[in-house]
């Protein structure tokens, strides 16, 4: 086993364990922290694939911004094991159906996919910020712009939702 | 990957680590002496000549104090918190260029641990995960004041990261690279000459992007939790903020991480905006005295700039009073962020008008 496979398998194992613990942890804070470790492992996978930009953006966006917001919210709500009550039966059944359905779809997709892919040596510059920028703004210019408009409209929508309650509160 | 490469990088990492620790250690002393000066009193002057051994005395005190862990259900998180704060504070120095090439006996060494082409983003990544130490430590303390400090720290850091990132984009547009090494090399010397030898403009980015510098500086104060943005540990409201329950070396790690952060952010400000290891007349020194002397002089100049900014942090601490929380949020979201976006637009227009 070369060093890359050792890193790959240890990262995968940690990511897998943390993903399972995210679901089964009783304390939501532990759940969030193990999700954070899982994100870090996936970022490590990006680095193994020579995708430096994706690696660092994954860290900044998921670990640095989204999970900080999650943790802040969890801390403010002060959720802990005592406040974690059993969910009603209907919610449990719904969660089971959704999880099984999603698992089925993923399994079918993975079975159809060509799993064993032998990659040649990665050419220099693949995954670097220069090649990524060129691909995004030359080949995929319109999808890229559409996604940014979509995100902008979502942001405007959120601001509108927050503003809606203000006048009623002031009265 | 040959062994000389590993040895070179290992030596650089070790030297940078020791220098960071030493500077952080003596920053605590400098801060107390300067505080004494600004408040017209003597400051620490008992331990050693002129109080010079005071940091060592502080260190011994920190190590030998009782290591108290409060009655909390999350002892592990309580211990991980300060370690995480210290680790993330030290990680950033990996991508900082401390100088140009140094040739020793035919072997050329670059005074930088890792020159990666996403260095600027790496710095932001490390800053963005830097808040976890404070958050986890503050939450695990099982104390309302600590929790409030942790929540303040996280919301403050997220808010100011936005303006900080936007202010850096203008620099990236001018330099055309995310590598801090390239950014430093683009500010070569002190003055840009055109091909005829006429004066164009000073080459340091503070003269090309003054607004970005101002925004970055303010955000750096907020990201390092220094006054006037030290709301996470605001002692007049929150006892000690996020480190209320900490004692002994765990408290020492939190306090020390702040000084390490201060040193690293001063280094980044000096390199990105004040030319780093570039100084007026460096070409003359390279030609007439030798490249090695020029490199060492450059590193000395870089550290002089860094020391100035560390002094600036302390100067501001004893000059500007603390912000109120709503003022802090208003400044970050309603003033700095629009200004940074305006700066990007202006930079884009100027680049199109003057570009090739």
Best mutation site among B84, B125, B155, B157 for testing chain A: the one with the most A CBs within 10 Å?
Answer: B125
Asked if B77 contacts B139 with a C-beta cutoff of 8 angstroms, the reply is yes
Which residues are registered as beta bridge partners of B138?
Answer: none
How do residues B138-174 score in pLDDT, each as one tens digit? 888 888 888 888 888 888 888 888 888 888 888 888 8
Q: Which residues of B touch A152 (CB under 8 A)?
A: none
| pLDDT, greater one: B348 or A114 | B348
Chain A CB contacts of B175 under 8 Å are none
Q: Say yes or no for a CB contact (<8 Å) between B135 and A52.
A: no
The answer to whether the CB atoms of B121 and A53 lie below 8 A apart is: yes
Cβ contact (<8 Å) for A71 and B178?
no
Interior CA angle at A155 toward A145 and B158, to 5°?
Answer: 105
b (16+ CB within 10 A) / e for B23-45: bbbbbbbbbbbbebeeeeeebbe
State which H helix or E strand residue B140 sits in: helix B131-140
Q: Taking CB atoms and an 8 Å limit, are A52 and B116 in contact across chains?
A: yes
Domain-located, residue B37: no
Tell me how far apart the alpha carbons of residues B165 and B152 are, in angstroms, rounded to a whole number. 20
**Residues in chain B closer than 8 A to A57 (CB atoms):** 121
- Closest Cβ opposite residue A72 in set B116, B128, B151: B151
Residue A102 has a pLDDT of: 93
Q: Can you give the residue range of the structural domain that contains B130?
A: 66-96+113-354
CA distance A95 to chain B (A): 29
Predicted pLDDT of residue A171 = 47
Q: Which residues does chain A have within 8 Å of residue B150's beta carbon, measured at their own beta carbons? A: 75
On chain A, the residues whose CB falls within 8 A of the CB of B136 are: 33
Q: Which of B77, B118, B158 is facing A68, going by the closest CB pair?
A: B158
- Of B149, B103, B178, give the one whose Cα is nearest residue B242: B149
**Measured between CA atoms, how close is B97 to chain A, in angstroms?**
19
Please tell me the pTM assigned to this model: 0.85
What gap in Å lies between CA B268 and CA B263, rounded to an integer?
A: 9
What mean pLDDT, rounded, does chain B reach? Answer: 84
The larger pLDDT score, comparing residue B297 to residue A86, is at B297
CA distances from B157 to A157, B152, B229, B230, B232 (A): 24, 8, 10, 11, 10
Domain assignment present for B235: yes
Contact A53 B122 (CB under 8 A): no
- Is the pLDDT at B31 greater than 80, yes or no? yes
Per-residue model confidence (pLDDT) at position A150: 94
- Chain B residues within 8 A (CB-CB) of chain A? 74, 77, 116-118, 121-122, 124-125, 127-129, 131-132, 135-136, 139, 147, 150-151, 154-155, 157-158, 161, 178
User: Is B50 inside a domain boundary?
Assistant: no
> In total, how many domains does chain B have?
1
How many CB pairs lie under 8 A apart between chains A and B? Answer: 63
All structural domains of chain A with their residue ranges: 1-97, 128-171
Q: Is residue B104 part of a domain?
A: no
Q: What is the rounded distance in angstroms from the CA atom of residue B224 to the CA atom of residue B263?
A: 10
Regarding an ipTM greater than 0.95, the answer is: no
Q: Is A75 on the interface with B (CB under 8 A)?
A: yes
Whether residues B125 and A76 touch (CB distance < 8 A) is answered with no
Average pLDDT over residues A17-43: 87
Closest-CA residue to B91 (of B33, B133, B37, B50): B133
With a CB-CB cutoff of 8 Å, which residues 42-61 of chain A face chain B? 52-53, 56-57, 59-60
Cα B251 from Cα B49, distance rounded (Å) = 27
Q: Which CATH class is domain A1-97?
A: mainly alpha
Contacts of B178 in chain A (CB under 8 A): 129
Instruction: Compute the distance between CA of residue B326 and CA of residue B303 in angstroms, rounded to an integer.
Output: 36
Q: Give the mean model confidence (pLDDT) for residues B204-230.
A: 86
B6 domain-assigned = no
Distance from CA of B151 to the nearest CA of A (A): 6
Residues of chain B with C-beta less than 8 angstroms from the C-beta of A130: 117
Alpha helices in A2-140 (DSSP H): 3-24, 28-48, 52-58, 67-77, 89-112, 129-134
Least confident span in A157-171, B119-133, B254-268, B297-311: A157-171
Task: State the pairing for strand pair B191-193/B199-202.
Answer: antiparallel
Tell me what pLDDT residue B356 has. 60
Contact A75 B150 (CB under 8 A): yes
Point out which residues pair with B101 in neighbouring strands: B110
Query: Tokens in use for B43?
Result: 């400051």
In a domain, B217, yes or no: yes
Q: What are phi and psi of B320, to 5 degrees?
A: -100, 130
Is B230 contained in some domain? yes
What confidence score (pLDDT) does residue A26 get?
78
Give the mean model confidence (pLDDT) for residues B6-11.
Answer: 83
Of chain A, the percentage scoring pLDDT greater than 90 comes to 13
Question: Is there a domain that residue B7 lies in?
Answer: no
Q: Which of B101, B172, B139 is nearest to B241 (CA)?
A: B139
In the prediction, which pLDDT does B345 show?
A: 92
């Amino acid at each position: 086993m070369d060093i890359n496979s050792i890193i790959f398998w240890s990262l995968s194992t940690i990511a897998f364990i943390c993903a399972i613990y995210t679901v089964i942890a009783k304390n939501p804070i532990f759940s969030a922290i193990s999700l954070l470790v899982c994100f870090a492992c996936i970022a490590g996978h990006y680095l193994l694939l020579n995708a430096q930009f994706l690696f660092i953006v994954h860290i900044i966006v998921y670990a640095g911004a989204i999970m900080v917001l999650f943790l802040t919210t969890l801390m403010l709500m002060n959720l802990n094991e005592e406040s974690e009550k059993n969910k009603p039966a209907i919610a449990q059944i719904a969660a089971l159906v959704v999880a099984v359905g999603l698992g089925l779809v993923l399994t079918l997709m993975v079975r159809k996919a060509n799993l064993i892919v032998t990659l040649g040596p990665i050419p220099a510059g693949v995954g670097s910020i220069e090649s990524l920028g060129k691909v995004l703004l030359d080949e995929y210019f319109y999808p890229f712009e559409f996604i940014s408009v979509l995100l902008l409209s979502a942001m405007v929508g959120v601001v509108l939702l927050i503003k809606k309650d203000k006048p009623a509160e002031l009265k | 990957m040959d062994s000389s490469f590993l040895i070179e990088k290992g030596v650089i990492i070790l030297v940078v680590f020791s220098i960071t620790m030493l500077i952080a250690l003596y920053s605590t002393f400098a801060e107390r002496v300067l505080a004494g000066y600004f408040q017209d009193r003597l400051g620490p002057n008992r331990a050693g000549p002129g109080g010079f051994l005071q940091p060592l005395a502080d260190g011994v005190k920190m190590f030998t104090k009782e290591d108290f862990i409060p009655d909390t259900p999350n002892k592990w998180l309580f211990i991980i918190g300060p370690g995480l704060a210290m680790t993330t504070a030290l990680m950033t120095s990996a991508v900082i260029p401390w100088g140009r090439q140094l040739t020793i006996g035919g072997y050329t060494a670059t005074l930088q641990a890792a020159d990666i082409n996403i260095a600027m983003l790496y710095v932001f990544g490390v800053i963005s995960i830097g808040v976890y130490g404070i958050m986890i430590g503050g939450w695990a303390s099982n104390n309302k004041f600590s929790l409030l400090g942790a929540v303040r720290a996280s919301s403050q850091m997220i808010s100011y990261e936005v303006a900080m990132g936007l202010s850096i984009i203008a620099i990236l547009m001018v330099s055309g690279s995310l590598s801090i090494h390239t950014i430093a090399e683009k500010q070569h010397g002190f003055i840009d000459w055109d091909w005829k030898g006429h004066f164009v403009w000073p080459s340091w980015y503070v003269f090309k992007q003054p607004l970005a510098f101002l925004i970055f500086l303010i955000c750096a104060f907020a990201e390092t939790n220094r006054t006037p943005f030290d709301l996470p540990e605001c002692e007049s409201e929150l006892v000690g903020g996020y480190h209320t329950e900490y004692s002994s070396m765990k408290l020492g790690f939190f306090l020390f991480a702040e000084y390490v952060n201060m040193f690293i952010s001063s280094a980044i400000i000096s390199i990105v905006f004040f030319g780093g290891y570039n100084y007026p007349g460096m070409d003359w020194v390279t030609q007439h005295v030798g490249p090695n002397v020029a490199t060492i002089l450059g590193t000395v100049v870089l550290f002089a700039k860094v020391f100035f900014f560390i002094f600036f942090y302390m100067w501001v601490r004893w000059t500007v009073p603390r912000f109120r929380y709503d003022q802090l949020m208003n400044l970050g979201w309603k003033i700095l962020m629009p200004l940074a976006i305006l700066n990007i637009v202006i930079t884009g227009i100027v680049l199109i008008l003057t570009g090739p």
